[in-house]
């Protein structure tokens, strides 16, 4: 074989010769420079597939001979050749042109995923477009027509093809430095040489020479993968647009044309060339520094916390969305779906991230937000994401960087993207510039986790900044964040945020690509956590006793859906069980934290707890949870607080930075400061209960747990509450504040409060444990309580049930769109004081089925008798389907031997509205018609919607067939449903079945013409009970109007006929109205 290579003295092209030359590769002698060659009409196929001997007249040949059985080469000659090439500027320019042609040919053929090893290796860091991409399956079936040579720019040297947004190229670039030339690699087919660069991360080059074996002679695949050429569209496994087919190149070895995943090599024999042993037998995926950084990052995230900190319970991820809290408010909050409507992230974390990644557009930064209230375990979940990647469960990402957002509240303008990725995380990472260069080339393979996003409120404004910085420019952290969120830095990466579902920054997350909500522990998971906690603590003998303590306190058990509170309960149980077997847990959250801090407070310096409480309150006013060491009043207070675990160094923080271990602890300390402080005026104290409108409150309730702790600290007995923390010295001040709050709470009228404020009032009075206040609140509760659209957590359901029992009266509850869990719904429904309740149809039917399976007959009967759906409005296809399930439940119940009769919810339904719109309406209406006859008491059927249901003539025909069973129907509204004359005719046929009951009929804004009006006029005298008929805004003319007016004269029972329509002359309408005043033209 003769190798094509530039000569120092000029440029040339080898002339084809030899018996094995392909017909498609025949070219005449081409002379001139490389630039002229590239501008010529030579087929690019010949520039890449020259396998036989070639000669060029008038130029010197560089020959590399090979014998059939032995491979020999003059390495010195080849080294001199490469040195000459490096020193010749014209040669370098020619190779650059070849690289451009390679790039042009590949992109012009729309190969959106060629491997970086197709020919040689990727270009340097500044020139490369991207690394490897996946090859689409349809590549071989589509080929874009290339322009003719005369259509190309005259200066081809400076012509650059437009880079594809979803493809990346790799082309020939001989690196500077030594090049190894291995004369024989016995593991590969005969005549294959390998060239590899050293020190540059260049992958190996394989060159065939001499007699090439047939495909049938190639050894069977095994061992390591060899990176081959792209496959041709003419043959299976080939996608190269210019690769010869098997018929064109009969001597081409099969491994050279198969994909990189299908070509393998045999192991090297120890008796063969020793030089091959010096070459790596594996083509590295990344350069060695990148591989080392990757392994060190894996080691960093693989480490699991020891002891109870390492307990991880797998909770559900629920797809979420943000919606406006009210029509008059621009603030957004988490939507509250019903329990059965929750959309769980199928497959857990890995599948959720993978599905979200597949939905995004190429080269677009993707923002995924994980929302959850304080204490729900968002930070633990973020750590679990990092560990999942380190364990190989997130293969779609090459690197994962997790950064706590409290680390980003730092001053200065000297930060770069490298600092954000490597220096500001929980553990500083050492990374060379080559690693960073590799990362920024493939941002789509990067996952950046920003934990506790609400901590960035101090950087407020970066989301709306006009521009972001360039990657290499030092700037402030605010500038880096602006570049990330405005998709100017690491564009194409995945940003995973964890945040609380409130605050200014969260409002912008409504446009995130995916939103998830982290649900808390179920009752079973909370109890399993208690068992594992004592197992990890080495106190397995106390497991059962600790679980019994928790079950004896239903209020704390309901709060254990929060992982933070569940752990706090375990910590207090552990301390109590060490003291003796007669221990018991407190019944309030205030008692829980007093028990945790009591011994620590008494062992601290004088006034230390009060000083720490003041710091907690001041930080909360600024929406912060971290503080500096110099903010403590003294070193003794700081040492004591750190020793008792009241503050600690958060992950990734500087040595001088501290934080409270939990948000609820900060809330408790803030409430303690309000209790002890003389700076708070007595008349201002009630405003901190957050029961009044926001404009009257002195702060925005960022420390949302303060109101409950405040009432608990002020009202609970001094000896076991406030006195256990600070001693008896504050009795006078606390007594004065207690009187102020008691007077305020007794003046409140619970019936005037909104649902969320009412629940907060119930929690505060429960924490107070003051009988007078509790009785006042529960006795003032209204008989009809609606929590529509207000989320009910397990603690909310527990406190509400306790208040309803203590009230001594009957209640009707509306629990729709509250997200109440099945256990909470069952507990409220089972109360004897609850006589009626409304809940989501799907949740109620699921509750009935669960009670039936568990054999709870009495509770099932009560739940069926109390449930009502009056009135019912179907706004989605799911509503219609749920209504069908309810009817099916009744039919199943009626056929059962144990029960008989109709379900009260079905039997007593009197008003049914159908408002699905023009798309879903025609699809869902037939399903509604099939179950209409089950509602024997139905009086009002409203099929009108602002967006028009458009059930059409077919829907009217189906509805008319049900009229004989709807004996109680009084109002029928068919407005805006695209009804024509045919529909009016079908309606007129069915209306006599409703003659004895129908009072009101509306056909407003349809398409009824004169024939339809005639059909209605004929049936009108038969409708003896009809009082009002509306046919306004239809299309009948004066003829149809006169027929209706004539029929009206025969109907003395009809009170009003509204029939104004623009197709009737106004003079005719006035004349008809003068003849019969019952005709309305409004």
pLDDT in tens, 809-861: 999 999 999 999 999 999 999 999 999 999 999 999 999 999 999 999 999 99
Whole-number pLDDT of residue 102: 53
Q: In the β-sheet with 971-973, what is the strand arrangement from edge to edge? A: 872-874, 911-914, 940-942, 971-973, 1000-1002, 1028-1030, 1056-1058, 1079-1080
> What is the C-alpha separation between 525 and 503, in angstroms, rounded?
30
> What is the C-alpha separation between 889 and 864, in angstroms, rounded?
11
Mean pLDDT score, 768-790: 93
**161 pLDDT above the threshold of 60:** no
Please write the tens of the pLDDT for every residue from 438-449: 998 889 899 999
Mean pLDDT score, 854-870: 92
Most confidently modeled of 187-191, 452-456, 911-915? 911-915
Mean pLDDT score, 723-751: 88
Half-sphere exposure of 1017 (CA within 13 A, CB side): 20
Whole-number pLDDT of residue 364: 83
**263 pLDDT above the threshold of 90:** no
pLDDT level of residue 567 (50, 70, 90 thresholds): very high
End-to-end CA distance of the chain: 97
> What is the C-alpha separation between 4 and 63, in angstroms, rounded?
9
User: Which position has the token pair 């690491």?
Assistant: 490
Whole-number pLDDT of residue 167: 39
**116 pLDDT above the threshold of 50:** no
- The two beta strands, 366-371 and 514-518, are parallel
Q: Tell me the longest C-alpha to C-alpha distance in the chain.
A: 118
Whole-number pLDDT of residue 320: 85
- ∠ CA(632), CA(636), CA(637), 5° rounding? 45
Please write the tens of the pLDDT for every residue from 938-954: 999 999 988 889 999 99
C-alpha closest to that of 53 among 92, 14, 12, 87: 14
Share of the chain above pLDDT 90, in %: 40
Whole-number pLDDT of residue 470: 56
CB burial string 884-896: b at 16+ within 10 A, e below: bbbbebbeebeee
> What is the C-alpha separation between 493 and 440, in angstroms, rounded?
9
> What is the C-alpha separation between 452 and 264, in angstroms, rounded?
48
Whole-number pLDDT of residue 453: 85
**1042 pLDDT above the threshold of 90:** yes
Summary mean pLDDT of the chain: 76
**233 pLDDT above the threshold of 50:** no
Q: 916, 874 in Cβ contact below 8 A?
A: yes
Share of the chain above pLDDT 70, in %: 68
Distances (CA, A) of 935 to 602, 869, 942: 68, 12, 14
Most confidently modeled of 130-139, 183-192, 846-855? 846-855
Q: In the β-sheet with 811-814, what is the strand arrangement from edge to edge? A: 784-786, 811-814, 834-838
**244 pLDDT above the threshold of 70:** no
Dihedral over alpha carbons 1003, 1006, 1007, 1009 (to 10 degrees) = 30
Q: Which residue has the higher pLDDT, 268 or 802?
A: 802
Please write the tens of the pLDDT for every residue from 291-301: 999 999 998 88
Most confidently modeled of 2-16, 88-102, 564-578? 564-578
25-34, 334-343, 356-365, 659-668, range with the lowest pLDDT: 25-34
C-alpha closest to that of 433 among 446, 416, 448, 450: 416
| Tokens standing for residue 500 | 């609380």
Q: Which residue has the higher pLDDT, 168 or 362?
A: 362
> What is the C-alpha separation between 212 and 991, in angstroms, rounded?
89
SS3 for 730? helix
Mean pLDDT score, 567-582: 88
**415 pLDDT above the threshold of 70:** yes
**1022 pLDDT above the threshold of 90:** yes
Q: Which residue has the higher pLDDT, 1042 or 428?
A: 1042
pLDDT level of residue 674 (50, 70, 90 thresholds): very high
Helix axes 563-579 and 589-602, enclosed angle (nearest 10)? 60
Most confidently modeled of 156-165, 221-230, 386-395? 386-395
C-alpha closest to that of 974 among 1022, 1024, 1034, 1027: 1034
**501 pLDDT above the threshold of 80:** yes
Please tell me the pTM assigned to this model.
0.72
pLDDT level of residue 732 (50, 70, 90 thresholds): confident
Q: What is the DSSP string of 263-318?
A: -B-PPPPTTS-THHHHS-SS--SS-HHHHHHHHHHHHHHHPPPPGGGG------EE
CA-based Rg of the chain, rounded to a whole angstrom? 40
C-alpha closest to that of 726 among 852, 607, 890: 607
Q: Which residue has the higher pLDDT, 409 or 811?
A: 811
Q: 724, 600 in Cβ contact below 8 A?
A: no
**Residues near 270 by beta carbon (within 8 Å), at least 6 away in sequence:** none
Mean pLDDT score, 1057-1080: 91
Whole-number pLDDT of residue 99: 59
**120 pLDDT above the threshold of 50:** no
User: Which position has the token pair 């925005």?
Assistant: 700
Whole-number pLDDT of residue 76: 58
| Tokens standing for residue 816 | 């729709």
Sign of the Cα pseudo-torsion (900, 904, 905, 906, in order):
positive
Q: 373, 501 in Cβ contact below 8 A?
A: yes
Mean pLDDT score, 609-616: 93
| Tokens standing for residue 165 | 């947004």
Helix axes 755-768 and 794-807, enclosed angle (nearest 10)? 80
H runs (alpha helix) in 580-719: 589-602, 608-621, 635-643, 663-676, 706-715
**471 pLDDT above the threshold of 60:** no
Whole-number pLDDT of residue 900: 56
CB burial string 744-756: b at 16+ within 10 A, e below: bbeebebeebebb
User: Which position has the token pair 């649902």?
Assistant: 755
CB burial string 697-709: b at 16+ within 10 A, e below: beeebbbbbbbbb
Q: What is the DSSP string of 138-163?
A: GGGG--PPPPPGGGS-S-GGG--PPP
Whole-number pLDDT of residue 91: 58
pLDDT level of residue 181 (50, 70, 90 thresholds): very low
H runs (alpha helix) in 492-562: 523-536, 543-551, 554-559
**Residues near 1002 by beta carbon (within 8 Å), at least 6 away in sequence:** 944, 972, 973, 974, 975, 1029, 1030
> What is the C-alpha separation between 452 and 752, in angstroms, rounded?
36
**38 pLDDT above the threshold of 80:** no
pLDDT level of residue 77 (50, 70, 90 thresholds): low
Q: Is 247 exposed, middle or buried (0-12, 13-18, 19+ CB in 10 A)?
A: exposed
**89 pLDDT above the threshold of 60:** no
Mean pLDDT score, 678-699: 75
Q: Which residue has the higher pLDDT, 269 or 372?
A: 372
**526 pLDDT above the threshold of 50:** yes
φ, ψ dihedrals at 630, nearest 5°? -75, -5
> What is the C-alpha separation between 332 and 996, in angstroms, rounded?
50
Please write the tens of the pLDDT for every residue from 950-987: 999 999 999 999 999 999 999 999 999 999 999 999 99
pLDDT level of residue 480 (50, 70, 90 thresholds): confident
DSSP assignment letter at 63: B
Whole-number pLDDT of residue 266: 37
Q: Which residue has the higher pLDDT, 560 or 652?
A: 560
């Amino acid at each position: 074989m003769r190798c094509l290579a530039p000569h120092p003295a000029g440029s040339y092209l080898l002339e084809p010769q030899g018996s094995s030359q392909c017909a498609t590769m025949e070219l005449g002698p081409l002379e001139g420079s490389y630039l002229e060659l590239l501008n010529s009409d030579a087929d690019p196929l010949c520039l890449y597939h020259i396998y036989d001997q070639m000669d060029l007249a008038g130029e010197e040949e560089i020959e590399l001979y090979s014998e059939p059985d032995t491979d020999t080469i003059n390495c010195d000659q080849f080294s001199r050749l490469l040195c000459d090439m490096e020193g010749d500027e014209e040669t370098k320019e020619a190779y650059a042109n070849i690289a451009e042609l390679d790039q042009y040919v590949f992109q012009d053929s729309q190969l959106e995923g060629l491997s970086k090893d197709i020919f040689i290796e990727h270009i340097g860091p500044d020139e490369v477009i991207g690394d490897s991409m996946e090859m689409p399956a349809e590549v071989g079936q589509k080929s874009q027509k290339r322009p003719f040579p005369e259509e190309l720019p005259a200066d081809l040297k400076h012509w650059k093809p437009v880079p594809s947004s979803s493809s990346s190229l790799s082309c020939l670039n001989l690196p500077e430095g030594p090049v190894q030339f291995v004369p024989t690699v016995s593991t590969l087919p005969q005549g294959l040489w390998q060239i590899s660069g050293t020190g540059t991360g260049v992958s190996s080059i394989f060159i065939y020479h001499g007699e090439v074996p047939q495909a049938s002679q190639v050894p069977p695949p095994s061992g390591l993968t060899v990176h081959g050429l792209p496959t041709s569209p003419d043959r299976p496994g080939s996608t190269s647009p210019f690769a010869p087919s098997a018929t064109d190149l009969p001597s081409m070895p099969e491994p050279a044309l198969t994909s990189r995943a299908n070509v393998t090599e045999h192991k090297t024999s120890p008796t063969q060339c020793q030089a091959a042993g010096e070459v790596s037998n594996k083509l590295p995926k990344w350069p060695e520094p990148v591989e080392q950084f990757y392994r060190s990052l894996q080691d960093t995230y693989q480490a699991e916390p020891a002891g109870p900190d390492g307990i991880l319970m797998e909770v559900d991820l629920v797809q979420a969305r943000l919606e406006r809290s009210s029509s008059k408010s621009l603030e957004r909050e988490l939507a509250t779906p019903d329990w059965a409507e929750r959309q769980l992230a199928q497959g857990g974390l890995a599948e959720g991230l993978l599905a979200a990644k597949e939905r995004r557009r190429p080269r677009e930064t993707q923002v995924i937000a994980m929302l959850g209230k304080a204490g729900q375990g968002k930070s633990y979940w973020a750590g679990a994401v990092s560990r999942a990647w380190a364990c190989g469960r997130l293969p779609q990402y090459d690197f994962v960087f997790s950064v706590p957002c409290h680390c980003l509240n730092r001053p200065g303008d000297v930060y770069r993207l490298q600092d954000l990725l490597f220096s500001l995380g929980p553990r500083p990472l050492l990374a060379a510039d080559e690693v960073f260069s590799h990362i920024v080339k493939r941002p789509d393979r990067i996952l950046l986790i920003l934990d506790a996003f609400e901590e960035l409120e101090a950087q407020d404004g970066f989301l709306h900044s006009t521009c972001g910085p360039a990657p290499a420019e030092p700037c402030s952290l605010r500038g880096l964040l602006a570049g990330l969120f405005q998709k100017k830095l690491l564009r194409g990466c995945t940003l995973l945020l964890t945040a609380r579902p409130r605050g200014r920054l969260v409002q912008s997350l409504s446009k995130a690509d995916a939103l998830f909500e982290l649900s808390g522990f179920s009752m079973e998971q909370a109890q399993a956590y208690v068992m594992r906690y004592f197992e990890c603590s080495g106190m397995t003998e106390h497991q059962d006793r600790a679980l019994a303590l928790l079950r004896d306190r239903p209020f704390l058990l309901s709060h254990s859906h929060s992982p933070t509170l569940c752990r706090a309960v375990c910590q207090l149980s552990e301390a109590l069980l060490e003291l003796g077997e007669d221990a018991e847990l407190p019944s309030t959250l205030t008692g829980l934290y007093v028990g945790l801090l009591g011994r620590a407070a008494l062992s601290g310096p004088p006034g230390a707890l009060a000083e720490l409480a003041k710091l907690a309150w001041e930080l909360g006013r600024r929406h912060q949870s971290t503080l500096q060491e110099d903010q403590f009043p003294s070193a003794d207070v700081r040492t004591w607080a750190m020793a008792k675990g009241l503050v600690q160094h958060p992950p990734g923080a500087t040595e001088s930075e501290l934080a409270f271990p939990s948000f609820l602890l900060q809330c408790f300390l803030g409430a303690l400061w309000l209790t002890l402080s003389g700076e708070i005026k007595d008349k201002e104290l009630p405003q901190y209960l957050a029961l009044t409108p926001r404009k009257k409150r002195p702060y925005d309730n960022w420390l949302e747990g303060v109101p409950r702790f405040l009432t608990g600290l002020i009202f609970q007995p001094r000896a076991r509450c406030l006195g256990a923390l600070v001693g008896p010295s504050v009795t006078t001040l606390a007594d004065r504040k207690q009187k102020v709050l008691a007077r305020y709470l007794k003046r409140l009228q619970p019936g005037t409060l909104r649902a969320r404020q009412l629940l907060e009032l119930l929690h505060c009075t429960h924490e107070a444990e003051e009988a007078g206040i509790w009785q006042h609140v529960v006795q003032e509760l209204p008989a009809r309580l609606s929590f529509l659209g207000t989320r009910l957590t397990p603690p909310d359901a527990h406190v509400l049930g306790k208040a309803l029992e203590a009230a001594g009266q009957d209640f009707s509850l509306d629990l729709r769109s509250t997200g109440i869990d099945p256990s909470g719904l069952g507990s409220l429904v089972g109360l004897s004081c609850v006589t009626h309740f409304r809940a989501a149809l799907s949740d109620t039917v699921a509750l009935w089925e669960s009670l039936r399976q568990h054999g709870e007959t009495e509770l099932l009967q009560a739940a069926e008798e109390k449930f009502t759906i009056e009135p019912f409005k179907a706004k989605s296809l799911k509503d219609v389907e749920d209504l069908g399930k309810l009817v099916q439940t009744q039919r199943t119940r009626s056929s059962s031997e144990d029960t008989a009769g109709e379900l009260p919810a079905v039997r007593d339904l009197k008003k049914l509205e159908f408002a699905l719109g023009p798309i879903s309406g025609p699809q869902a209406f037939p399903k509604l018609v099939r179950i209409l006859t089950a509602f024997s008491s139905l009086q009002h059927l409203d099929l009108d919607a602002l967006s028009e249901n458009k059930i059409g003539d077919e829907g009217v025909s189906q509805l008319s067939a049900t009229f004989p069973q709807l004996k109680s129907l009084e109002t029928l509204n068919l407005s805006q449903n695209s009804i024509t004359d045919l529909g009016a005719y079908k309606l007129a046929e069915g209306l006599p079945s409703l003659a004895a009951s129908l009072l009101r009929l509306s056909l407003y804004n349809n398409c009824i013409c004169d024939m339809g009006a005639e059909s209605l006029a004929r049936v009108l005298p038969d409708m003896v009970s009809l009082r009002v008929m509306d046919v306004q805004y239809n299309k009948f003319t004066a003829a149809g109007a006169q027929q209706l007016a004539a029929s009206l004269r025969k109907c003395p029972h009809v009170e009003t006929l509204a029939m104004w329509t623009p197709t009737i002359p106004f003079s005719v309408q006035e004349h008809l109205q003068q003849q019969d005043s019952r005709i309305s033209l409004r």
